[in-house]
Chain A
Amino acid sequence: MTSSSSMRRDPALIPVVVTLWLALGLFIVYPFIKLLMTTFIVDGRLSLDNLMLVFSNSYDRLALINSIWLAVTVAAMGTFLGFVFALAVTRIHLPAPLRWFIAAVTILPLISPPFTSSIALTLSLGPNGIILKFFGIPDFNIYGFWGTWISESLTYFPVAFLTITSVLACIDPNLEDAGLSLGGSPFRVFRTVTLPLTMPAIANSILLLFACSLADFATPLVLAGHQFPVLPTQAYLQITGMYDLKGGAALSFALLVPALLVFVLQRFWVSRKSYVTVGGKSGAQTTVKGIGMAGTAVVMAICAAVIAFILFLYALIVMGAFTKAWGLDNSFTWESFAYVFDHGRKAMIDTLIIACISTPIGGLLAVTIAYVTQRKSFPANGLMEFVSLLNFALPGTVVGIAYIIAFNSSPIVLTGTMSIIVAAYVFRYDSAGIRSVIASLHQIDPSLEEASLSLGASSIGTFKNVTLPLVIPALLAGMKYLFIHSMTAISATIFLVSVSWSLLTARILECMTELQFGNACAFSVVLILLVFIFNGMLTLLVRAAGYNYRGQGGNL
């Protein structure tokens, strides 16, 4: 469907596109514009004073530069780690339990309830940190760029891992065979064939991580200290500390410029080539030949180190959950869990309900947006793609505030309802799903869809029976991400939670601010368990629905 005749040819899709635009318009564009107006219309006139004021301040200019630098480095490191892990599970012969273990560990940092992991990190790498003591490193100052970078890279690399794995698994190993038979060493074949074919995933993962890091204020809030101001944190402080909503919002809008730039770059980068590796003529079923001894060694070493570090951090949390008073009275106790089940049951249930509602909606939305923008030629497809990314690239606080401003007065009043929380999650965290499905779609030969159409399936039928099952790994990745964030995200929802809905992470945050470290840890442990259980169920559910395709290549 390269021609622009989709609309004429396929009127059935028009309602779909209209619905998408309505949804995006309502939950992304409308709040965005409302916030823009609040920010830049002063006394009924357009005024950029807010922005000017902010950027006349050299500290904020520094913050912008820092933000971009941080986002670039986090995107690079996170994508690198994600790629290495993806290689481990798809291109190295490992026993299945070990692969599952690796994949499971990478989920941990994603779950990392806000603040708990940062605390664990400061306990290990901070002043007097356990790891520093162990290795006898004296003067490492975690507060600043390094701490933030380490923490964000660690937190976000799983996003890259999920995106890249689903694409890597679908690369036909016959192509690698071809490279080998032309005399390339396993490593060179990896570099010249496998790696470039993963480009759609890499580009999208970079985009995601860049936006993620650009919008994240929580990590820098704890770890950046004052020498390394970043913009989202500045915006947050401006709003909550200086009670200056407009200034804060204005700062956040500045973040959109680099995000847009990366978006355009990524599109350009990916659009120039073809990455179709899932075709209608299957090569022979073949085993992956790996990436060579040296490559394998490096990959395994990196994985082992990162996994050890992650496990260490989370072990601290688990220990925290079982000790009376961390660092003081390290005796074993169930008290924290008793507290959690006493006081946290409603939060658990509420959180689960919200996550369980958001996830399927988000999944559907992600795959439809990706499909329509990639496969159908409707006007403003590129715009739709970018709009869908907008909420992701803005700091959560700002999105939260935009939502209250937009949905707290007529015509649309949603505050206090669950739907506003669900909408905030779906339209913010769906980006991961959208981007990874897009990356995955690049791999699929359009002739498969043509075949389905020619066999009498409608566009919708084709989508359901052919496209969807082929992008299931990517979609599943996106849905997991959305689910996890629906369970753990806090920045946007702090403004949207209402008296009738209480969320787990809000409780964790409370425990942290009230210095109940043990309770916070216990909550975190429960959260982690819940996420694992539900993730597993999600996977099983999708399998049970008959979606079993896991790519022609790789092991996963």
Chain B
Amino acid sequence: ATLNAYTVMPEKYASKVFEQFTKDTGIKVNFIRFSSGEALARLVAERNNPQVDILLGGPADIYTAGQKDNVFAVYVPKDQKLTPAEYRDPGNHWTGIGLIPLCFLTNTDFLKKNSLKAPESWQDLLNPAYKNGLQMADARTSGTATERIYSLIGVYGVDGAFDYQKKLHKNVQLYTKSGAGGAMPIAQGQASSGIFYLVDALDIQQQGYPVIITYPKEGVTFGIEATGMIAGAKNQEEAKKFIDWATSPKLGQFFVDQKINYIPVVKGVKITSPALDMSKVKLLKVGAEHKGDKRKAYVERWINEVIR
């Protein structure tokens, strides 16, 4: 039995996850990795004759967006109750498997040179020292960027969020296509700081570059990594088995064991890594009404008000 999958998780994580799944169930997995937007575009285009059975990873909002085109199937995983309701689709199109908060990633050499402290507030990034030094994701391509907007809305309200971004824009050197795109330039010292998902920031930090991860005291939101089954999947049984497996504590525990930097949402998994310890971080929850439908409007507002 085989399972075909698209994944939005980094290849190195996805391959481990699927390997483990095969070990556990004997089901072989073929998969390809995409960025979230590409994955959805492809799923939509393939709607009439789906080529894969499940999607693993990617922020919950692409699942929401895909519902419009009936891309995802309804399935209630066996252990659904172990996942808090706020981390799964009420319509059962998707289920969350991990959380990733936003954070600031800053080059420590830059900080030393400018005798600055690592930013600890959103306002710190408005410091003229950062002028032409920030790299962060473009709201049109990247889930990271929309998450940034949600965080800011959570902190400053909708109008306040855009006012803030207009100011922030003055310090921005480049909006990158992918969420992690700015991380390497910051590591290399081409840029000074930026706003990233924790996974990406940790990645670069763990490679040993002179960077520091900090959180704004006003708080940040987090993305929900999800998984879901594709409508019309050819391998229904295998797909269901995968969703069951992925939403059970098995995957959560696997994240922890393998140092995969998602914060598991499934109940009964204990987080050991200090980097993922969110106890000192103020996490904000954004109402579902802001995600989904509003997203498009925010992005357009961002285009029209911020980057112009």
> A: which residues have CB within 8 A of B?
59, 119, 122-123, 126-129, 141, 143, 221-222, 225-226, 236-243, 245, 325-329, 397, 401, 404-405, 408-409, 413, 415-416, 494-495, 497-500, 502, 506, 510, 513-515, 517
In the assembly, what is the distance between CA of A515 and CA of B197, in Å?
14
B67 to chain A, nearest CB (A): 11
- How many Å from the CB of A474 to the closest CB on chain B? 35
Chain B residues with CB below 8 A from A143, complex form: 173-174
> Which chain B residues lie closer than 8 Å to A128 at the CB level?
189-190
Instruction: Decide yes or no: A237 and B132 within 8 Å by CB, A500-B30, A510-B11 being known contacts.
Output: no
User: Are the C-beta atoms of B138 and A226 separated by less than 8 Å?
Assistant: yes
Q: Does B241 contact A (CB under 8 A)?
A: no
Beyond the given A127-B133, A415-B51, please list 12 additional residue pairs across the A-B interface where CB-CB is below 8 A. Answer: A119-B184, A122-B190, A127-B132, A222-B177, A241-B142, A245-B44, A328-B209, A401-B45, A408-B48, A498-B51, A499-B31, A499-B32
- Separation in Å of the A342 CB from the closest CB of chain B? 12
12 A-B pairs within 8 Å (CB atoms) are namely: A59-B308, A127-B132, A226-B175, A242-B140, A243-B41, A325-B208, A328-B209, A405-B45, A415-B46, A415-B49, A513-B178, A515-B187
B183 at the interface (CB under 8 A from A): yes
Q: A327 touches which one: B34, B49, B178, B189 (CB < 8 A)?
A: B189
Stretch with Cβ within 8 A of A (4 or more), from B19-27, B77-85, B157-165, B296-304: B296-304
User: What 1/0 flags go to B188-226 for Cβ under 8 Å of A?
Assistant: 111100000000100110011110000000000000000
Instruction: Say how far B291's CB is from chain A's closest CB, in angstroms.
Output: 13
Minimum CB–CB distance for A394 against chain B, Å: 15
Question: Chain B, interface size: which category?
Answer: 35 or more
In the complex, are the beta carbons of B183 and A515 less than 8 A apart? yes
Contact B41 A499 (CB under 8 A): no
Give the distance to chain B from A168, nearest Cβ to Cβ, in Å. 39
Q: Which of B42, B141, B174, B187 makes the CB contact (< 8 A) with A237?
A: B141
- Nearest first, the 4 A-B pairs at minimum CB distance are A240-B37, A499-B30, A241-B140, A237-B140
- Min Cβ gap B165→A in Å is 12
Residues of chain B within 8 A (CB-CB) of A404 are 42, 45-46
Of B11, B188, B203, which contacts A123 at CB under 8 A? B188
Instruction: Tell whether A408 pairs with B46 under 8 Å between CB atoms, given A123-B190, A240-B38, A241-B142.
Output: yes
Given A409-B49, A498-B51: A237 and B41 interface contact (C-beta under 8 Å) = no
User: In the complex, A143→B180 CA distance in Å?
Assistant: 18
B171 to chain A, nearest CB (A): 13
Given A143-B174, A245-B41, A409-B48: A514 and B203 within 8 A (CB)? yes
Question: Which of B4, B34, B184, B304 is in CB contact (< 8 Å) with A515?
Answer: B184
Q: Which of A225, A243, A497, A515 contacts B40 (CB 8 A)?
A: A243
* Distance in Å: Cβ of B235 to nearest Cβ of chain A: 12
A326 and B65 contact, CB distance less than 8 A: no
Q: Which residues of B contact A126 (CB under 8 A)?
A: 185, 190
CB-based contact B307/A226 at 8 Å: yes
The answer to whether B33 touches A241, judged by C-beta atoms less than 8 angstroms apart, is: no
Q: Which of A326, A327, A502, A513 interacts with B10 by CB under 8 Å?
A: A513
Among B4, B35, B133, B187, the residue within 8 A (CB) of A240 is: B35
| Assembly CA distance A502 to B11 (angstroms) | 12
Give min CB distance, A131 to chain B, whole Å.
Answer: 13
Given contacts A127-B190, A243-B62, contact A329 B208 (CB under 8 A): yes
- Are A413 and B49 neighbours in the complex by a CB distance under 8 Å? yes
Q: Which A residues are CB-close (under 8 A) to B203? A: 514-515
Question: Who on chain A is nearest to B135 by CB?
Answer: A127
Name the residue of chain A whose CB is nearest to the CB of B29.
A499
